[in-house]
C-alpha cells in the first residue's frame, strides 16, 4: 500500500501486479503487456477494502495489473471539507494514473457510485479508457443527480441519529453500524451531500460513452430498469441481471462478478491486441 500526491490530495492506493497473488488457471499469457484494471468503490460506507476482499486478488492471479484506491474523503485518502463534485472524483483518478506513470488505457470497474465516477472518467477521458464495467450503478445523467440528491439528504438526516445507528446494528450487525456512523461523520463534516448532486453531468443520450460497457445489476434492486435504455443508447453494451439479487452484488456475488469482469477484460484485451498486431503487421 502507498500514498501518492494527486493534485490537492494525498491518495491511498493499493496495486497488485499481474500474478503477484498467485497465478490461477486460465491466466493471461505473460508474453504481452498485461491489461490494467482500476477498481472504483462506492460512496460513504465503502473503501478499497471491498475490492481487496473480493475482486482484486482474483484479477491479479489471472494475470491482470490491478489498482485499487480510496476515493477522496474515504478510507485513508485525505478528507477535504469541500470539493466533492463528480468532476473532482474524475480528476483525482486521472491524476492518480499520472502519478502511477500508467500509460495503458485502463479497464474501469466501478461499484455503485464508483460506477458513476468510472462512467464520468470514460466520457471525459476516452483516450485513457479501454472498457467500462458498472456494477449496480447509474451513469451521471440528470435522473441520477436527482436520485443521489434524495439519498444523500436522507442519509445526512438519519446517520447522525443514535436511534438510526442502533436500528442498523440490530438488523445488519456491528460492522455495518460502524461504517454507517462513519458515513454520518463524513456527511456532517464535509459538503459532500450538496456537492455530489451538483456536479458535472453527461448528456442523457449517453453519446459520451463510446467505449465498450458491461453493466451488471441485481434483479431486485430497481437499477436493472436501466437495461433497455443502456442497450438502446450505448452501441457496445452488454447487460447482465442477476435474479433475486439486491444492490450488494459485489459483496454477495463475488465469484459471479469476478467471472463476468475477467471474461470481459480478457475478451477486449484480446481484441485490442489483435487490432494492434494488424496495424503494425
CA distance 187 to 194: 9
Q: What is the pLDDT of residue 271?
A: 82
Rg value, the chain, Cα: 18
Domain limits of the chain?
A: 2-22+29-148+204-280
- Specify the pLDDT at position 30: 47
Q: What is the grid cell recorded at 135? A: 456494477
Tell me how many degrees the CA angle 93-218-109 measures, rounded to the nearest 5.
20
In the CATH scheme, what is the code of domain 2-22+29-148+204-280? 3.40.50.1820
Tens-level pLDDT at each residue, the chain (281 residues): 799 999 889 999 999 999 876 555 455 544 578 999 999 999 999 999 999 999 999 999 999 999 999 999 999 999 999 999 999 999 999 999 999 999 999 999 999 999 999 999 999 999 999 999 999 999 999 999 999 999 999 999 999 999 999 999 999 999 999 999 999 999 999 999 999 999 999 999 999 999 999 999 999 999 999 999 999 999 999 999 999 999 999 999 999 999 999 999 999 998 876 665 555 45
Which pLDDT value is given to residue 124? 98
pLDDT of residue 270: 87
- Indicate the Cα dihedral angle 255, 260, 261, 265, nearest 10°: 140
Query: What is the distance between the alpha carbons of residues 214 and 235, in angstroms, rounded to a whole number?
Result: 11
Instruction: Rounding to the nearest 10 degrees, give the CA dihedral for residues 111, 182, 177, 219.
Output: -20
Amino acid at each position: 500500500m502507498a500514498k501518492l500526491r494527486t493534485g490537492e490530495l494525498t491518495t491511498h492506493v493499493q496495486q497488485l501486479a499481474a500474478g503477484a497473488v498467485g497465478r490461477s488457471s486460465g491466466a493471461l499469457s505473460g508474453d504481452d503487456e498485461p491489461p490494467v484494471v482500476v477498481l472504483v468503490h462506492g460512496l460513504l460506507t465503502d473503501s478499497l477494502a471491498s475490492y481487496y476482499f473480493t475482486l482484486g486478488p482474483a484479477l491479479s492471479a489471472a494475470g491482470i495489473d490491478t489498482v485499487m484506491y480510496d476515493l477522496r474523503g474515504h478510507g485513508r485518502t485525505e478528507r477535504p471539507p469541500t470539493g466533492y463534485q463528480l468532476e473532482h472524483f474524475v480528476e483525482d483518478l486521472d491524476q492518480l494514473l499520472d502519478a502511477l506513470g500508467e500509460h495503458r488505457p485502463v479497464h474501469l470497474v466501478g461499484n455503485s457510485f464508483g460506477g458513476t465516477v468510472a462512467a464520468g472518467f470514460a466520457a471525459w477521458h476516452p483516450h485513457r479508457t479501454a472498457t467500462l464495467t458498472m456494477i449496480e450503478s447509474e451513469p451521471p445523467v440528470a435522473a441520477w443527480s436527482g436520485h443521489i440528491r434524495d439519498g444523500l439528504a436522507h442519509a445526512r438526516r438519519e446517520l447522525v441519529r443514535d436511534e438510526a445507528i442502533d436500528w442498523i446494528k440490530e438488523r445488519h450487525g456491528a460492522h455495518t453500524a460502524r461504517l454507517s456512523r462513519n458515513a454520518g461523520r463524513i456527511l456532517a463534516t464535509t459538503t459532500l451531500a450538496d456537492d455530489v448532486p451538483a456536479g458535472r453531468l453527461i448528456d442523457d443520450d449517453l453519446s459520451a460513452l463510446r467505449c465498450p460497457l458491461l453493466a451488471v445489476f441485481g434483479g431486485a434492486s430497481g437499477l436493472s430498469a436501466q437495461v433497455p435504455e443502456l442497450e438502446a443508447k450505448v452501441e457496445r453494451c452488454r447487460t447482465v441481471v442477476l435474479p433475486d439479487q439486491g444492490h450488494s452484488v459485489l459483496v454477495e456475488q463475488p465469484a459471479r462478478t469476478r467471472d463476468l469482469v475477467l471474461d470481459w477484460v480478457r475478451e477486449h484485451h484480446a481484441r485490442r491486441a489483435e487490432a494492434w498486431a494488424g496495424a503494425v503487421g
